[in-house]
Structure formats: C-alpha cells, structure tokens
Amino acid sequence: MPAASQPDRRLRPISRQLAESRPAVGTAPSLQTRSHAYLDLLSGLDTTTSVSRVDTSAVRERVAAELAGAPVPVGIVARCHLGGSYVVHTLTWDLEAIVDHYKRHEPLPPELERARSLAAAGSYLAVEVYPEHLVCIRQDGHAIKVER
C-alpha cells in the first residue's frame, strides 16, 4: 500500500485521460484571453466626454466576435481616466450603445453597480457584466470569472 504522502501511481493514467477529455479550466468562450484589438476597443471608450454615443453596431459586432458565440455582456464597466471626480464609465446596449462616465457618488444602473468597485480599483482594464457573473479583463487580456 502506498504511503499517505505519495499519490497512488495506478490512478495517474486514468486521471490524465479524464483531464485530456475535459476542456481546460478557463477555456469557455467568455473566459478566453481577449485580443489586442478588443483591449484597444475598451481602452478607446475612455477618450470621450461625460456622455457620448458610439457606433452601436461596430462595438457590439466587435464584442460579439471577440466572445465567439458566447452571450454578449449586459454592459461593460471600466475605470475612468477623464480626471476630476469621474471614477468609472459604462457601455450599455439598451437602445443604443452609450458610454456614460460616472462621478464618485453617482449611482450606476442597478445591473452594473456590482462591477463598480472592481472597475474603480484599477486592477482590471474592464469588467464585463453578465446576469449571473462578472468577467474581469486584465490589462494583458486574461479573463477572470467572478460569481455573483
């Protein structure tokens, strides 16, 4: 019988087979590393004034293409670099894509509010908001899922 501190070598081939038959953790389309073009798109949203309209179809198409068939987020929240008391900006898909910049004490739309602190902290380039979870996008494009 193997010692408690050593793994049973007989189980290794089976566990390797199981690992190979399952997708690796984090490879779901919404968790794939984001492309440089997508990161540039998100970064460019912060160059507008306090409320601005962006080309709805182009941005939505780029987001949908990036996510390769996965659901498009309800909205995207990111740290705002306009200065003054602006803290975060949002991109939503309601009637048309609108980039809104929010000051420290202004409430975000309820479905986006839960992403505010993650976005404002500056650890992530952006936070994609989905009904059941958040996906934090790091500066290097890596995606991290945060459950509700």
Query: What are the sequence ranges of the domains in the chain?
Result: 24-147
User: Which amino acid appears at position 113 of this protein?
Assistant: E
Instruction: Give pLDDT, residue 16.
Output: 39
What whole-number distance in Å separates Cα of residue 86 and Cα of residue 82? 6
Mean pLDDT of the chain: 76
Label the pairing between strands 75-79 and 86-92. Answer: antiparallel
Instruction: Name the more confident of 69 and 122.
Output: 122
40-49, 106-115, 121-130, 138-147: lowest mean pLDDT where?
Answer: 40-49
Q: Please give the residue that has the higher pLDDT: either 13 or 106.
A: 106
pTM of the model: 0.74
- Residues listed for the chain: 148
Longest dimension (CA), the chain: 69
Residue closest to 63 by CA, chosen among 28, 90, 88, 34 = 34
| Confidence at residue 10, expressed as pLDDT on a 0 to 100 scale | 41
Query: What confidence category does residue 140 fall into, taking pLDDT thresholds of 50, 70 and 90?
Result: very high
Listed range (12-21, 96-105, 106-115, 116-125) with the worst mean pLDDT: 12-21
Q: Locate 142 and state its tokens.
A: 């890596």
E strand or H helix that includes residue 128? strand 126-129
Using DSSP's 3-state secondary structure scheme, residue 12 falls into helix
Q: What was the pLDDT predicted at 52?
A: 54
